Structure 1
Amino acid sequence: MRKLILFMSTSLDGRIGGANDETTAENTIDTPEQEDHRYANQLFAAADTVVFGRLTYEGFIGYWDTLDLSDASVPAVEVEFAQAFRRLNRVVFSRTLTQVPDNTLLINDDIPTQVGKLKKQVGQDILLVCGPELLATLAEQGLVDELLLIILPKALGKGQSLFGQLRQPMNLTLMTTRAFKSGGVLHQYQINNA
C-alpha cells in the first residue's frame, strides 16, 4: 500500500501562515536556488500523485501551472519544480470547487474513504500538501503515514497552526533530520497509528 506523506514548511512554532495569512515560506526562504528548494524538487520528481486542500491547490496551480518556463529570468530551480509538478496526478479535496482541469481529480465528499482507495492503487507514495482541517480529518482516520516538515528559522506567534485542528494527539517517531544552509531543518517523522 502506498504511503500518504505530508510535506509542509512551518515556522518554528508550527504556523503555516502569519496573522495576515502570509506564508512562512515566502517570508523566510527567499532565494529559490537554496538547498531546501532542491530537496522539494527531488521529492516532487519522485512522486506520482499530490493531494491538496482547496486553498493550497489554488496557490500551487496559480503559480506553478502559469510559470513561463521559457522565460530566461526564471531560476532553473523553479523551472525544475514546475516541470515535476506539472506531470503529477493531482487530487484536490473541496466542498466549493465544481470543476478542475483534466489532470486533477476533484473529491468533495467521503474524504477518508477516497484517500483509502488512493493509497491502495498501484504507484509511488502520495504527497499531501494541505492546511490544518484536511490534515486533522486524515490523521484522525489513521491515513497519514509520515510527516516531512521543514521547520523555518522564524517564530510567528500568531497565525494558522498546521496542527491546530487535531482532535487527538499525534504520536511520532523521528526517522531523519537534515539541516539546510538556509537555517531550515527537515524532520521526517513516522506517525504511529495505534
Structure 2
Amino acid sequence: MRKITAGLFISLDGVVEAPDQWHFPYFNDEMGAAVGEMLGTADTVLFGRRTYESFAGAWPEREAAGGEDAGFAKTLGDQRKIVASSRKLEFTWRNSEQLEGDLVEAVTALKNGPGGDIALSGSISVVRQLLAAGLLDELHLLVHPLAVRKGMRLFDEGDTAIPLRLTSSQAFRTGVLHLVYAPAERADEADYDDAKPHLPQEDQR
C-alpha cells in the first residue's frame, strides 16, 4: 500500500493560506531539507486546482532557467501530477492529469495501487477531505512562530474530531517547528476526575 504524506506551512494561529506572503523569512536549509524529504521522495504529487496552478505557473520556468533551483524543478516536472478539480482542466506541464471521479474513492484506489509514495503540498481542501476519510498516513506541519491573524485555517468547523499522534518533532534555528503526525485511535472518554491525580501534589513533608 502506498504512503500518502501531506506537508503544510502553517502559522502559530493555524493559518495555511497564502504562505508565500509570510513564510519566506523563515526558509533556511533545514526547511529546504524537510520540503525535499516530503516532495522529492514521492513519485506522485496530488494537488488541488489552485495549488497546482500556482506550481505550474512557476516551476516549469524555473527548470528552463537552469538556476540553482532547476534540479528541484526538474524533479517536480518528472513526477506524476494528479489534480483534483470539478472543472475540466487543460495541462501544459508535463506528466499532469486530472483525477477522475469522487476524490475519496479515487485516492483510495491510488493508495491501494502500484507505485511509490504520494505527496501533497498545500491543497487545503484535499488535505481536509483525506484527513476526514482516514487516508493520510503522515501530516507534516511546519509551524512558524508568528500569528498571521487572517486567512484560511487548516481545520474547519465539523462534527467529528480527528485524533492524531505526534511521531516526530524538530525545532529549526529560525524557531519553526517541524511536527509530524499520524492517525490515532480515538481517546477514551475522560473528565476532570480522571485528570485530577496527575495535578502537582502538595509536598506533605
TM-score by length of 1: 0.84
Q: What do you get for the CA RMSD once the two structures are aligned?
A: 2.2
- The one-character-per-residue Cα deviations of 1:139-176 (angstroms, maximum 9, x if unpaired) are 22221121011111211122111112555211111000
Deviation at 1:67, TM superposition (A): 1.2
- Post-superposition CA distance 1:23-78 (Å, at most 9, x none): 2244222476532023212332211011011111111111112215545xx4x2x2
In our comparison, the structure showing a higher alpha carbon Rg is: 2
Change (3 A) 1:94 1:176: same
Distance 2:175 2:153 in 1: 20
Matched residue of 1:190: which SS? strand
What does residue 133 of structure 2 align with?
141
Q: Give the Å deviation of 1:193.
A: 6.1
Note closer, same or farther for the CA distance 1:114–1:193 as it changes in structure 2 (3 Å cut). farther
Corresponding position of 1:12: 12
Higher RCO, 1 vs 2 (CA within 8 Å, ≥6 residues apart): 1
Q: Is the 8 A contact 1:5 1:145 kept in 2?
A: yes
Equivalent position of 1:94 in the other structure:
85
Instruction: Name the CA shift for 1:28/1:132 in 2 (closer, same or farther; >3 Å).
Output: closer
2:48 counterpart of 1:53:
yes
Runs of 4+ in structure 1 off by over 6 angstroms are: none
CA spacing shift, 1:98–1:29, aligned 2, 3 Å: closer
More strand by share: 1
**Conserved in 2, the CA contact under 8 Å of 1:148 and 1:188?**
yes
Tell me what 1:20 maps to.
none
Match of 1:66 among 27, 39, 61: 61
Give the match's secondary structure for 2:58.
helix
CA distance in 2 between counterparts of 1:190 and 1:68 reads: 33
Identity of counterpart residues, as a percentage?
Answer: 29
TM-score if structure 2 supplies the norm length?
A: 0.80
Q: 2 CA distance for matches of 1:160 and 1:82?
A: 27
| Separation of aligned partners in 2, 1:80 and 1:14 | 31
Q: Distance in 2 between matches of 1:152 and 1:9?
A: 7
Whether the 8 Å CA contact 1:50–1:88 is kept in 2: the answer is yes
Counterpart in the other structure of 2:35: 40
Instruction: For residue 14 of structure 1, give the secondary structure of its aligned residue in structure 2.
Output: coil
Q: How many pairs align?
A: 185
* CA 1:80–1:32: 2 relative to 1, 3 Å: farther
Q: Aligned match of 1:110 in 102, 105, 109?
A: 102
Aligned to 1:27: 22
CA 1:59–1:155 in 2, change beyond 3 Å: closer, same or farther? same
Q: Deviations over 1:168-193 (max 9, x none)?
A: 21111100001122321110111126
8 Å Cα contact 1:35-1:182 kept in structure 2:
no
Question: Partners of 1:61 and 1:190 in 2: how far apart?
Answer: 29
